Structure 1
């Protein structure tokens, strides 16, 4: 269908007074009043109109690299004068030096505040680059900082060590660095040699399945290996699982695992560690063949080769739902957009809120200088890591911990489908990032829209003793501005929502959809998940999404107040008949030291970031409350060898630290392969510093314990794989911030039954809408 006409002929309300009692008013009369207003309404305010423009108060000091900056940094790194002796990445071997990626280096807060709040010059901008240095006597991965930008005679290339607290700063041992194309290529000959040697065994076990190499036409199996692939960088390994290839290969695993040692840059020294199948380990090919010939490793279940059941397309065999041929409801900005944008500076204004948006190839969306009604709430709000840890009785499941920044999560934020991923008429922004000596553009990867919350922000009907039952009634429209992106990292589609509510609250939501990383089915291993297909078992796992919230409640002098609800026994003289009785009261105190901590049992503690030097009109300290939402969890396993010290940020609900320029990130992008000796050890952030009246950073975790189920087929559903948190004003104001909103209705009934209906001039606009399919956003260069 190339065009769909959707005409919204919604009548507009008006201020009016009727003598008809509310319990018996003439609905036709009201309809006529509304229709009259509607017929005179202008039809120019269609929801497809662009958002009004604004001008950011200052240029964005957190902006990503421009294409010119990226190219100039690339050229400088490859200039002979740099002394880095670099090979172009697509031509590189293990023993070469080459650039892995380039991105903007975070700008230190201490440099930004004098600029954003005062008259200091624009802070210096730097790039960061990870360079794999296989050509060194002791090969490693080294991170560099390049700046100031733009590139000039003053620009330097220096090791970037100061943001890491591990033993080697920005250096990562070769065996722990990212397992990229050259490393995969280096292990391929060993894998081919082994699998060719046992092709008769795999063919018999897996319906003709064989592996002769990824480019060999005889190959009809695919392989995968997870992380970590090292413990401390002294050795490297791959625990490889084989699958039937195809778009849903995550759902068609086979019970066959190849374990290899791939330590160092000399691939001739790589070796077989063994095989696992039927829950048994075979250290050599001879051991595997002996068991096969004895009939000990035949498969009890054949894996399905037809993966149509795992595709996210229409499945008519499930039946027909009545009226499903009609277009589903959607949020429509009928009156025109109510937010303003400065696209060049990625700056947004909405109903009292203002903030800057930035982007990182590893972290995705980042928000800075978040203010409400001109007063700062947060300096920074950003995702820090998306962790997934699995459990199982097979090497892939037992071994797997993912840090999705390792896979450059931000670059996997692909194009969004209008009307489905985001409402019709949303504002769409592209993301850009360096890719070798070019800049890649993912089109329409961020959407911004105002959403009807489908519940009022506030309401109340006041009862009365008159015969009509009430004297007045008020209800206020609920709406929020949402900034959204979806990152498809391997098998999962993470949806990141940042919602700015009319009352000054900020809500962070993450949802997960996509394919399970499944395991081969064993009936006796139900403790790791249920059977979800012919030979497929859902693998039990945790999703932990770590965020950073650098609160600046009015300024950078903040405290974390705790109000604990406690049940106490007490007496009150006006209840002598009760004697001693139990009731609740609050114990209120400020946390004194940096700490990792959890929500209280039964949520019987309120945590508030406040400014100890600022009070509202009632003398209460002004602050923002941390309101746990749905499924706020932390990692289940606290002492697993696969996440021993490199995932400390995922092991508590909350953490609070003093802000330091050398602690900008909870994790490092190559930390996953260093669980024993991490490059960034989050637990080292907690060194007894005082946090009362200091510049505070709150680290918080959202996520899901993924109890897999049949309904995860074909993909996990966003409705239940959902986690959230709200930051809400707590005495920040003198009263609720809803009184200045005109989108409300106020109804009064006097003693005579006269109804006064006030809409404050806000009616329902009429807007003929044309929706064209496919939408323009599906064109252009980018990632879907």
Structure 2
């Protein structure tokens, strides 16, 4: 009997044995009008009390207010001016955040009987009022503010030579610095307004002038080593899709120093030509040497992310698309106050910072720690082109405080209906800003069985046939950060087999360029006068593994080809065979995935073995689009982006190396505040507390399908951490969501075991939300 015939027979067979549960259809479950109930999808996750208070939690709103008052008090001697009243030549607080806690102190609390370590605030002060103006980081604590609280320079995490200080010309380009060049920009562009009007039907007289019909947008970096500073400004037509309507005109300003009166025009660029002065530009224009061969459209409707009636309607698309519903109720528990989660053997804490966004700590599976920390370190992009925007753009999104751009998620679209929604909170001046429902947690069907096997076929038609299938699911924690033109979706999935998947997706508008017919090597034409500029996205993560404890190693298993002979087949002579070569990394190293996937990398604990004597570990499994930065030696990213230049790296953990990058590094490519290359100083990593740094991302080969926006379905990168001999067997034997089916092809008898989990018989009723979403608020 064929497989198809056997299945047909099984489906047509009634269940009669007393040992069998009646089931009208083992393979499909149809609903009838008389056999339904309502499945609510908005129930709260059951509460669980965290084992201990979350030591990594953000500082409280009261602490934010108290720290703000503390540093502004005259007795601290910081001579601060309120930011609203400050100028470039004043000292003022730029931002406040939660300070990173040293691992050594936390472990004695989370694993032992030590008291909870006190929290500290991280305060960035722009000290323009000093004789040598700098940006300086400080640590303020312990908190809450008391007579024990003090303020000290936060220098120790940075290895660039100046600690937490950065000279003025390399510091963050905030609104006060931007305001300083507005008069210069207005004057320079007004002088050539007749030229930009003739070439591009656009003029710029300053952002507040009614005659202005262009948008000025800057790019970075703005310095190389903090000894100079510049601003590159591109122009676009205004509108909802402004990123897609650039014009071929750029101005570069020299903004070195704190005296705006000394700032000057470095030059203009158009037609891929550089003109040092407005006079040189005008001479070329009057000589007829400048042209606009592909005029940009001012109509931006072609680039809006909206329904396009002219594209028609797909059949049956008026029906609601399939949804992931937690149909049996929530199977994870949550301590909202402590940001602590338990799910199917997993447990972990969460926290949130303005610079790095969502972070995970003390990740355990079945009570044993796998990771101490899992966190984003950087989200970078470097562009290619032959004009100042594309050719000279490098972004580090921590520079913009990526966490502050995590905003409200759309239930049912960004996250499934019924997801648990959490707020993202972070300090903003002396208040705490709240972005409601910016983080979601949900369990999702994986779309495939965790495991399945059928024994028996047509060759065994007279015997018994067995089939087993185990349902697969994962708990997802997700947020989306919209930094400028890109929406980065960060998804952390905790699978029921004990594996963790980290996935990043990118959507949003291209930072496009004007189209040039002879520059297809930088990207394709995607609009009337718009080119999709090629660029690399690279996102660096930190994985501080603690496999059972902190004495870990990174093991490399190479699949090698050797020549062998076999005495039982002497006639084959010498021929190729495969072998495994196993070794541990001895010292700190940056390295890449092996060609053809012929190397396996596993974080192991050689002192902790499973019952078969094999070291327990977690494997690093490359997913989709595991890349590193293509450019290795550009002056715009030479030393500031070292962390982006390999797939992977392993270092020994130090409390003095909590970050792979500095959030201000992007303006210091030749003299970074944090130089990742200095992490690799020959230290032993075999049997030590080690950290694995890994990169996700994509070489963005832009395409017309990036219009209106890049699609999440294609722009995706991922990695999996999977148990490798961590257990004695696969972690599926304790799962009840499974079916064990036994059939007798001769008698037609069919029995099955559901382990107490019956197929649901319900219809879905999407409940109205109990409360309306509130706008961003401040505490």
TM-score by length of 1: 0.95
Alignment of 1:375-774 (within 5 A): 375-463=368-456, 465-467=459-461, 471-750=465-744, 752-771=747-766
Match of 2:269 in 1: 276
Shift of residue 769, structure 1, vs aligned partner: 3.9
Shift of residue 749, structure 1, vs aligned partner: 1.9
Match of 1:251 in 2: 244
Answer whether contact 1:554 1:611 (CA < 8 A) is retained.
yes
Matched length = 765
1:350 to 2:343 alignment: yes
Tell me, in whole angstroms, the C-alpha distance in 2 between the residues paired with 1:447 and 1:57: 22
What SS is found at the alignment partner of 1:202? Answer: helix
Shift of residue 775, structure 1, vs aligned partner: 8.3
Shift of residue 303, structure 1, vs aligned partner: 0.6
Shift of residue 781, structure 1, vs aligned partner: 2.3
Tell me, in whole angstroms, the C-alpha distance in 2 between the residues paired with 1:200 and 1:645: 42
Can you list the C-alpha shifts for 1:533-574, whole angstroms capped at 9, x where unaligned?
000000000000000000000000001111000011110111
Answer whether contact 2:40 2:765 (CA < 8 A) is retained.
no
Tell me, in whole angstroms, the C-alpha distance in 1 between the residues paired with 2:464 and 2:720: 34
Answer whether contact 1:399 1:642 (CA < 8 A) is retained.
yes
Q: Where does structure 1 differ by over 6 angstroms across 4 or more consecutive aligned residues?
A: 32-42
Tell me, in whole angstroms, the C-alpha distance in 2 between the residues paired with 1:704 and 1:19: 44
Alignment of 1:144-293 (within 5 A): 144-207=138-201, 209-293=202-286
Compute the RMSD of aligned alpha carbons.
2.0
Answer whether contact 2:490 2:504 (CA < 8 A) is retained.
yes
Match of 2:19 in 1: none
What SS is found at the alignment partner of 2:561? Answer: strand
1:58 to 2:52 alignment: yes
Alignment of 1:21-170 (within 5 A): 21-22=9-10, 24-25=12-13, 30-31=23-24, 43=37, 46-170=40-164
Tell me, in whole angstroms, the C-alpha distance in 1 between the residues paired with 2:549 and 2:681: 24
Shift of residue 175, structure 1, vs aligned partner: 0.7
Tell me, in whole angstroms, the C-alpha distance in 2 between the residues paired with 1:775 and 1:562: 52
- Give the direction of change, closer, same or farther, for the CA distance of 1:563–1:402 in structure 2 (3 Å limit): same
Shift of residue 301, structure 1, vs aligned partner: 1.2
- Give the direction of change, closer, same or farther, for the CA distance of 1:731–1:777 in structure 2 (3 Å limit): farther
**Which of 319, 323, 328 is the matching residue for 1:326?**
319
- Give the direction of change, closer, same or farther, for the CA distance of 1:90–1:270 in structure 2 (3 Å limit): same
Tell me, in whole angstroms, the C-alpha distance in 2 between the residues paired with 1:120 and 1:707: 52
Consecutive unaligned residues of structure 2, counting only runs of 5 or more, are 1-5, 17-21
What SS is found at the alignment partner of 1:642? Answer: coil
What SS is found at the alignment partner of 1:485? Answer: strand
Tell me, in whole angstroms, the C-alpha distance in 1 between the residues paired with 2:57 and 2:123: 17
- Give the direction of change, closer, same or farther, for the CA distance of 1:215–1:621 in structure 2 (3 Å limit): same
Shift of residue 672, structure 1, vs aligned partner: 0.5
What SS is found at the alignment partner of 2:181? Answer: helix
What SS is found at the alignment partner of 2:673? Answer: coil
- Give the direction of change, closer, same or farther, for the CA distance of 1:389–1:19 in structure 2 (3 Å limit): closer
TM-score by length of 2: 0.96
Tell me, in whole angstroms, the C-alpha distance in 1 between the residues paired with 2:35 and 2:406: 40
Shift of residue 43, structure 1, vs aligned partner: 4.3
Answer whether contact 1:127 1:147 (CA < 8 A) is retained.
yes
Consecutive unaligned residues of structure 1, counting only runs of 5 or more, are 1-17
1:779 to 2:774 alignment: yes
Tell me, in whole angstroms, the C-alpha distance in 2 between the residues paired with 1:639 and 1:440: 39
- Give the direction of change, closer, same or farther, for the CA distance of 1:235–1:757 in structure 2 (3 Å limit): same
Shift of residue 770, structure 1, vs aligned partner: 3.7
Answer whether contact 1:384 1:548 (CA < 8 A) is retained.
yes
Can you list the C-alpha shifts for 1:11-37, whole angstroms capped at 9, x where unaligned?
xxxxxxx99952643699943899899
What SS is found at the alignment partner of 2:243? Answer: helix
Shift of residue 767, structure 1, vs aligned partner: 4.2
What SS is found at the alignment partner of 2:253? Answer: strand
What SS is found at the alignment partner of 2:601? Answer: strand
